[in-house]
């Protein structure tokens, strides 16, 4: 039995002060070699039990890179959470770390800190033997680093204790741990077995990951099962599965299952600046009558409506090219805009192109220049040349305003990404 398992064995009767003292000894190496990994897990449990000094120590470990890569954002998160309740050192460290970060970084760290109460509540509830959902939630948060530091070893040991309950989400997370060798020794066979158990219970994430595993294997014998899994997940609204199926259909690789027909709600078509959901044309032209294209369009619409950025861009492409539908530049502009606002560089370029040529939108060289500049800032190579060509059509003061708008967009985008 390893040290993390022993920790969890004694957790129901654990005293937070004893946990903290043991963690400090492990971190400093008192009485032997330092064990940063176990110290981190102990501090994490103590922090979830309400020990503010444990939160402070987690900030120091992230700041110094003890047992993990240095992470100033995580350090700031923990110092923020450590303020008050007899921990006077936190405020000074908070100020020190914040001085080295920009506003976007600080905002992200505070957003991370805002998720900690969810983990704290899940831990409190999980100490009751009958609250399996809370136990699973905390395991997922530890595995993903949501609200707490990512700790695959602690998460795996935590979730392993839930296997007798056959909980699909726990099986899914553990399956991924075994497949990736994170928190557990790599064991592809066990990972696949657990994914299948979760998928058989209808867990959409497990269905997608099991299908992905099948696609990565050599040979085609199991591929029909992979399509079935993706269709089952897509029917539950799993955006990744919807997008994956759409692209498989677009390439003509997915079988046309008559038992599965993606449903798309038809609505009034919006303008390029509208937030309403556009309709799918019920009468495709000859260019768009291929069954695979029609199916791809339907799946892309489902995923795009869930803010899947790549699906939004690809849906814009379908409308622009008249694939699976009538060619419709207004719809293309709408979906390019949705993807562009999320930071998709090629969608930004395409939107600039539509404004430059007045396709689907009113011709506007200022907006074209603005989107080309944004696309260039996001790394799309063709955008700089097009921006320079459009710039020749603009007065200097107008160009400066458009550049200011592009810079403001990039600042907002970077602030949201961080």
What one-character-per-residue DSSP string does 95-126 give? HHHHHTS-HHHHHHHHHHHTTHHHHHHHHHHH
Whole-model pTM: value is 0.84
Q: What is the pLDDT of residues 67-85, one digit of tens each?
A: 899 999 999 999 999 998 7
Residue 138 contacts residue 122 (beta carbons within 8 Å): yes
Residue 210 contacts residue 223 (beta carbons within 8 Å): no
pLDDT for the residue numbered 276: 35
Region 334-346: mean pLDDT is 96
Burial of 1 (0-12, 13-18, 19+ CB in 10 A): exposed
Angle at 89 between CA 88 and CA 94, to 5 degrees: 110
Q: What is the pLDDT of residues 361-373, one digit of tens each?
A: 999 999 999 999 9
pLDDT for the residue numbered 262: 59
pLDDT for the residue numbered 284: 46
Asked if the model's pLDDT at residue 289 lies above 80, the reply is no
Q: Which domains does the chain have, with CATH numbers?
A: 3-117 (1.25.40.10), 162-232 (1.25.40), 237-342 (no CATH), 352-418 (no CATH)
Could you give the CA distance from residue 9 to residue 234 in angstroms, rounded to a whole number?
Answer: 39
Region 168-185: mean pLDDT is 95
Query: 412 vs 219, which has greater pLDDT?
Result: 412
Asked if the model's pLDDT at residue 257 lies above 70, the reply is no
Q: What are the CA-CA distances from residue 85 to residues 45, 52, 90 (Å)?
A: 17, 7, 10
Confidence of residue 277 (pLDDT cuts 50, 70, 90): very low
Q: What is the pLDDT of residues 104-144, one digit of tens each?
A: 889 889 999 999 999 999 999 998 777 899 999 999 999 99
């Amino acid at each position: 039995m390893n040290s993390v398992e022993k920790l969890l064995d004694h957790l129901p009767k654990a005293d937070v002060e004893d946990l903290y003292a043991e963690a400090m000894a492990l971190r400093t190496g008192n009485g032997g070699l330092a064990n940063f990994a176990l110290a981190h897990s102990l501090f994490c449990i103590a922090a979830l039990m309400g020990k503010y000094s444990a939160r402070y120590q987690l900030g120091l470990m992230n700041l110094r890179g003890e047992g993990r890569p240095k992470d100033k954002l995580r350090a700031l998160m923990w110092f923020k959470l450590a303020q008050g309740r007899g921990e006077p050192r936190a405020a000074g460290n908070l100020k020190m770390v914040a001085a080295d970060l920009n506003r976007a970084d600080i905002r992200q760290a505070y957003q991370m800190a805002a998720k900690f109460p969810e983990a704290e509540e899940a831990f409190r509830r999980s100490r009751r033997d009958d609250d399996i959902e809370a136990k699973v939630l905390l395991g997922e948060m530890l595995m993903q680093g949501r609200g707490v530091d990512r700790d695959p070893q602690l998460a795996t040991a935590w979730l392993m204790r839930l296997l007798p309950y056959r909980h699909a989400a726990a099986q899914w997370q553990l399956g991924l741990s075994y497949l990736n060798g994170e928190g557990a020794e790599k064991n592809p066979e066990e990972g696949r077995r657990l994914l299948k158990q979760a998928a058989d219970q209808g867990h959409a994430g497990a269905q997608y990951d099991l299908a992905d595993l099948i696609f990565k294997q050599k040979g085609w014998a199991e591929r029909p099962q992979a399509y079935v899994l993706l269709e089952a997940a897509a029917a539950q609204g799993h955006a990744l599965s919807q997008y994956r199926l759409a692209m498989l259909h677009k390439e003509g690789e997915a079988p046309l299952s008559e038992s599965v027909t993606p449903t798309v709600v038809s609505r009034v078509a919006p303008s390029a600046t509208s937030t309403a959901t556009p309709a799918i044309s019920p009468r495709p032209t000859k260019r768009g009558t291929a069954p695979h294209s029609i199916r791809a369009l339907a799946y892309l619409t489902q995923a795009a409506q869930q803010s899947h950025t790549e699906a939004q861009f690809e849906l814009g492409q379908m409308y622009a090219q008249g694939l699976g539908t009538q060619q419709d530049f207004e719809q293309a502009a709408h979906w390019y805009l949705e993807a562009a606002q999320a930071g998709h560089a090629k969608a930004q370029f395409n939107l600039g192109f539509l404004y430059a040529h007045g396709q689907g939108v009113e011709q506007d060289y200022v907006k074209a220049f603005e989107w080309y500049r944004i696309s260039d800032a996001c790394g799309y190579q063709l955008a700089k040349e097009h921006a320079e060509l459009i710039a020749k059509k603009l007065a200097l003061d107008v160009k400066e305003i458009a550049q200011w708008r592009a810079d403001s967009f990039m600042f907002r985008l970077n602030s949201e990404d961080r």
